[in-house]
Structure 1
């Protein structure tokens, strides 16, 4: 039997499927394992199942040893994994695309409704016990019908967000490195724009691009200044795609109307300025947080490991 190390707590179903064929060591606590303990834990592993809380770098790979065959990351994004370092050591890397598409798009659209209709503000008023009464102009928000949503990164999740926007009567424009498939563009009625034009024309800008050096602070002060002062920014992708300090200043100044964020630059820390503002909806990285989705993600990671250790091709390889 091979040695499989699961570096964080995942649904039991996936652990059991691995344990049916291999020797499994699993960190089964909610809190992330310390770096020192992690380096010791992975020694001699043939396979690693990792979470976004772990940095899979050269140090960790070398601690595991030359017998390591695969790193199965339980996420679509894999910016926590040094793919080049894995490739240099002939270690395969897999991720978990597709199974979290709808859950993440639901979260992103939920954030849009929260901020555009000021639902978060309303709940805070109720919970605080602050007196209130109905009025024609009380907590007025903005409707979405007839507005334009700009999708940055029209992959699976971006397309799912666009479908939800279409159901709400919105028009769709998008920005991506390559044009989407013609049939998808036709389905969504989507027009491809450069980023600057998308920012200028959209009433909502929703980020769904992967995080990399090229997308670090893709949205900063210059880009925010291009947006309408009635527009909303939604980020359910990765925190560092947005310059949080610039976003705070834009929200304070009324450069844009509001923002909905499920991810942050320095997770789990959140910029203090965001906590002080009412025109931002905040969630603690809940994009894929449904029982069904997290179970499917963990099982896909486990299935990738089982395939590699059987000598079969990976199901969802990275790169």
Structure 2
């Protein structure tokens, strides 16, 4: 039976064992042991009786669900960096506080971005797949013209979104000999620009037309939906590559697929997709053809980051029920 002195906390997905154990000590917690995503009905049921809901980015907490939430629900402590899956304004109108887990995924996501920047031009996935999936004698050894990719040293990287992750990507890119270019709502401080030898482009269109590799690192907001549109994809040179570890809907995925199929861009490295977990079958065919490297949204998937996120969720819950403002509260109108 739930301890009435502890808030009832419903967690929608399986979390690291150490995080779940700590939650069990502090709260009347209901865990998702089989890790199956909650249906909409199950989300509604949880929100009708919980004090705290701990969703993840795979849970859409829209205005309709929030409006039907029970009177006990006072906190949505999202286990996520982005908060585009929660209607924060609707929660505020209902008197529900929303928190997230920011600033713990930066280095891991930047690592994965850099891995894709390397993997796509150098055809790493193709080479690994050939050896793993072929007969032992199908590879005849080194050849001077076999599996030729493109050098990244000296190429121009264009970063779309120069926040924490974009800046971390830029530091890695500079170490690999890439020229750093970026577009952002606001120019970064002069010290950071000087450190990275970065060139700021006020015009995204002009930057896209001049770089060799595009890295998408901006959040998903109404303003960034299809920011990389069909028109902007057409600005890229045929030798250019695009990498996305941010959110799938920042790129017009259908338009990007057409560009890849028609050889109007050289390749893509994607860790996120517009309609995930569904993957466009045409993208899968492009991956088989060596024109795309596809990963299953694993940019932040390290044990360290997941534990850090869990710690932030716990701190947000404890602070809220101690009568204080949670450190990671998301204010309405800020996404």
Q: Structure 2-normalised TM-score?
A: 0.91
Alignment counterpart, residue 154 of structure 2, candidates 146, 150, 162: 146
Question: Where in structure 1 do 4 or more consecutive aligned residues deviate above 3 Å?
Answer: none
Cross-structure match for 1:213: 222
Unaligned runs of 5+ in 2: 1-5
Over the aligned positions, Cα root-mean-square deviation in angstroms equals 1.5
Give distance in 1, aligned partners of 2:24 and 2:237.
54
Cross-structure match for 2:178: 170
Give distance in 2, aligned partners of 1:252 and 1:289.
30
After superposition, where does 1:71-90 map in structure 2 within 5 Å?
71-90=76-95
Alignment counterpart, residue 258 of structure 2, candidates 215, 233, 249: 249
CA-to-aligned-CA distance 1:74-119 (integer Å, 9 cap, x gap): 1111111111111212222221121111111111111121111001
Q: Cα distance, 1:152 vs. partner?
A: 0.6
Cross-structure match for 2:199: 191
> Once structures 1 and 2 are overlaid, which stretch shifts more, 129-138 or 111-120?
129-138
Determine helix, strand or coil for the equivalent of 2:293. strand
Give distance in 1, aligned partners of 2:59 and 2:95.
20
Unaligned runs of 5+ in 1: none
Give distance in 2, aligned partners of 1:305 and 1:119.
43
Give distance in 1, aligned partners of 2:330 and 2:42.
27
Contact 1:72 1:94 in 2 (8 A): yes
Is 1:30 aligned to residue 35 of structure 2? yes
Give distance in 2, aligned partners of 1:36 and 1:85.
19
CA-to-aligned-CA distance 1:33-55 (integer Å, 9 cap, x gap): 22212211232222111111111
CA-to-aligned-CA distance 1:127-147 (integer Å, 9 cap, x gap): 231623321111111111111
Contact 2:37 2:58 in 1 (8 A): yes
Q: Cα distance, 1:197 vs. partner?
A: 1.2
Q: Cα distance, 1:19 vs. partner?
A: 2.8
Alignment counterpart, residue 9 of structure 1, candidates 14, 20, 25: 14
> Once structures 1 and 2 are overlaid, which stretch shifts more, 254-263 or 64-73?
64-73
Q: What is the number of residues matched between the two proteins?
A: 319
Alignment counterpart, residue 318 of structure 2, candidates 291, 306, 313: 306
Contact 1:108 1:235 in 2 (8 A): yes
